[in-house]
Structures are given as C-alpha cells and as structure tokens.
Amino acid sequence: MKSSRLWLAFLAALLAGLAISGAVAAYTFAREVVVAESGQDERLSDVTDNCNRAEWLVVWQVDTGGGDTDLRGRRARSIPGFEWLGDAFVIAAGIEPERAARVAYNPLDDDFLVVYERKLLSGDVDVLGQRVAGWPGGGDSGPDLRGSPFAIGASVGQETTPVVAFLPATQQFLVTYELNDDIRGRRVARYHMGTNGGETLGPTFIVAADPFHAEGTPTVIASDQQAYFLVAYTYEFTQDEFDVRAQRVKGSSTPGNELLASAFDIANTTGDETQPDLAYSQNWHALLAVWTATAAGNSDVQGLWLDENIRSGNPAMGPAFDVSANPMANETQSQATSDPTTGNTAVTMIVEPAPGATTRLGLVWVQPDPLALNHILAPRFTFPERPFLVTTPRLSLCPNQPGLLIGYSARFGFPPDYEYDAQLLAGSQWAVPMPLVQR
C-alpha cells in the first residue's frame, strides 16, 4: 500500500513537471523484465533488434562455477506487448570462459553475429564469432545456432572487448577489438561466403596503432549511405589523460589499404574523455558520437554530431554539447541509438545522483536535427531507484516501431561478493509518459 502511494505521488509529480515544461516526447514508461536470476552471476552483454520482425536478441553471460562463464541468448518481441519468443538457449559453452559478447544483425540473411572473448587455459584471450538464427528454429546447428564458433582474432596477444557492425551495402560485418593497446579489425562475411568458403574475409588489420599512445574500448557503426564503417576509441594522449578519436574503415576489403582517410579527434580537452559510443541517423545523414567527459571529479555525458558525407578530415557538425551534465551527479557509460525511419535518437546512461548514491538508469532524447540550436529534445529522465546498483546499459529500438528496450546488469550485495542479474526495461518510444512498472 505504501509502495502504491509512493508511485502515485511520483506519477503526479512527473505529469505536473511535463505539463509545465511541455515535454511531450519524453519516454518514461517501462516494464521491468528479469532476463535471468538463477542465483548464479548473470550479466547482460547486449540487446540487438531484428529489424525484419520487430524483435530482439538478448545475450548475457552466466557464471557456471569454477571460474567458467558461458553465453546464453533469448529472443523477444514488443508487439502488441513485450513477450519472450521461446526459451533461453546456449550460444557458447566451452570448458574455457566465454564473455564480453556484442551482437549485430544481418537483415539480408535474418541472422545475428555474436562476437565474444574466450579466455584460454593458458591465459591467452581470443575473439570468436557465432551466428544465431533470427527466428526460433531457424538454425542448422540445432534450432538456434547457424554453423560453429570461428576465430576472428586469435594470436599470442590479448584480443579483448570486441564490437561488431553490419553494412548491407557491402554485405560485410566489421569486428573491431583491442590487441595489446592497439585497435585491430577483421571482416566477417555472410554465412559460408568468406575466403575459401569460410566465415572471415582476409586477415586482421590495424585500425589504430600509435607506438607512443595506447588505444582501447572501441565501438563501431556502419554508415549505410556512404558505405563505410566508423570506429571510435579511447586514445591515451598522455599518461592518465584520455581523448576520443575515430577512424573510418572502407566498406569492403582492400588488403593493405583498409582505412579511409586518417584518424580524427572527436573529443580532446584537458579533461578525460572515455567510453565512446556511436549511433547512426539515416534520416539526417549523420552519426552521433557520445562519451563520458570527466573533469574536477565529476563525470558528464557529452555528444557530437558528425556528417557522414564527409569522408576525410574532421566531419564535426558544430561543437560538442552536453547530453547530460548535472554538477552533482556522475553520468557515465552512455549508449546511443537512432531510429532510421523516424529519426528519434536516444541516449541511455548510468546515473549516480550524488557521490556514493545508488546508481540508476537515465534516458535522454536528443533533437534528431544535428543543426538544431538546442540539441536536447527532452532532458534526462532518471528511472526510480531500485534495491540494486545498475551497470552496463544497452539500448535498442526497432525502426518505425514503438518498441524500445534497455538492458542492464543489476548488482546486489557487497564487495567482493557481488551477485549479478541480467534485466531489461521494456517500453515504447511513442508511449504516453507513465512511471516504471515494477515486476
């Protein structure tokens, strides 16, 4: 009863605030969905939409004991309301830990490519890939998987933090990852259409490798209209000072000449810029870069629009701007997405309202017009506090469909004995403002 009164009070305050501000586009409705809470550690890895079917693939990692982790997946849809499609299934479950998965969807074949780390018993870490069918029962290696795991980055070095994007114009995936403080890339073909009938196209190649500066935490997105990939990454300008840089990669393989023009700066102030992410706005022929900016002990989320038509030099469309910058709160781990049909653009993030407070999810709607005078369409909405800390947000929406999904890991307990569950907030980008609905 007390909980119900609190939620009614929250709703009244929210509606009053919206009436005053006129912010009718704010997305604040969400249903809490538990992905996995078996008692083992389950951490959300990624959420990716299946554009053909207005569905999603949710991927998470499970601690199976003894230091081993496996990857699992489950499909869901949002029309008419959120529901699971079939049961959870195994994506990778070897005797060595599989972890840190990211996913991209291929609409040409209606399948997903899951890329992930595998930590070998020797201590080496490699990057592997596994295809997942876009619909239940559509696999050829059992009902869910297509083919077998295959190596993408496998050397004596440490290949970590893989990310992946698919470019329909060239029918190729690009996987980028860290290798000993550099950024490497490798192309993956459509199923069995790679070199010599395999899965990859050509060897690995260097995306960024400054001998005097470390590069890490890459993110990648495809520029559909101009048919290239954009890779953003953290660049250690000086010891303990980090910037965000970007490098275009050609849409199709050109052995020995994979890069398009030179790297350029996205953010390079005297503070720290880290944790980059990218979104593609097809409507406006632009890409949105977001990152965490830290100065004087406070972290904010900033953004910059990039003109995809500019294929060399710095394509910035004006100066960087604050996506969310509360001087009391720390805002970090931003993730961005854009609806290619409507142009709706959203950024989710982790919000620590005050130092030491319980972390929560935040969501900002960005003005889709990159040349607008005010870049923020609706200011940050912070979801209500929950009885756990929130980490690793992932944001996905279905083009020209109402569904919007935020995945995250819920962290319970006290160090060093944290317990993790994988969870979702499922809602609509077209919803009438309403409070979060607890399960």
Domain ranges of the chain: 25-437
10-residue stretch averages of pLDDT, the chain, 439 residues long:
35 36 46 86 95 89 94 89 92 95 96 96 92 92 96 94 98 97 98 96 96 96 97 92 97 92 96 97 96 96 98 97 97 95 92 95 95 94 94 89 90 87 86 48
SS3 content of the chain, % helix, strand, coil (to 5): 5, 60, 35
351/391 Cα distance (integer angstroms)? 10
239/251 Cα distance (integer angstroms)? 34
Note the pLDDT of residue 9: 36
438: helix, coil or strand? coil
Note the pLDDT of residue 433: 41
Note the pLDDT of residue 342: 83
75/56 Cα distance (integer angstroms)? 6
Full strand arrangement of the beta sheet holding 436-437: 389-397, 403-412, 419-428, 30-36, 436-437
Full strand arrangement of the beta sheet holding 330-338: 330-338, 345-352, 360-366, 376-382
The partner residues of 286 in beta bridges, in order of sequence, read 281, 307
Note the pLDDT of residue 431: 52
Answering whether pTM is above 0.75, one says yes
176/259 Cα distance (integer angstroms)? 13
Instruction: Report CA-CA distances (Å) from 199 to 10, 74, 152, 227.
Output: 52, 24, 9, 21
DSSP state of 17: H
Q: Which of 372, 165, 168, 397 is closest to 284 using CA atoms?
A: 372
58/132 Cα distance (integer angstroms)? 11
334: helix, coil or strand? strand
Based on its alpha-carbon atoms, the radius of gyration of the chain, rounded to whole angstroms, reads 21
**CATH architecture assignment, domain 25-437:** 6 Propeller (2.120)
Tokens for 341?
A: 């049909």
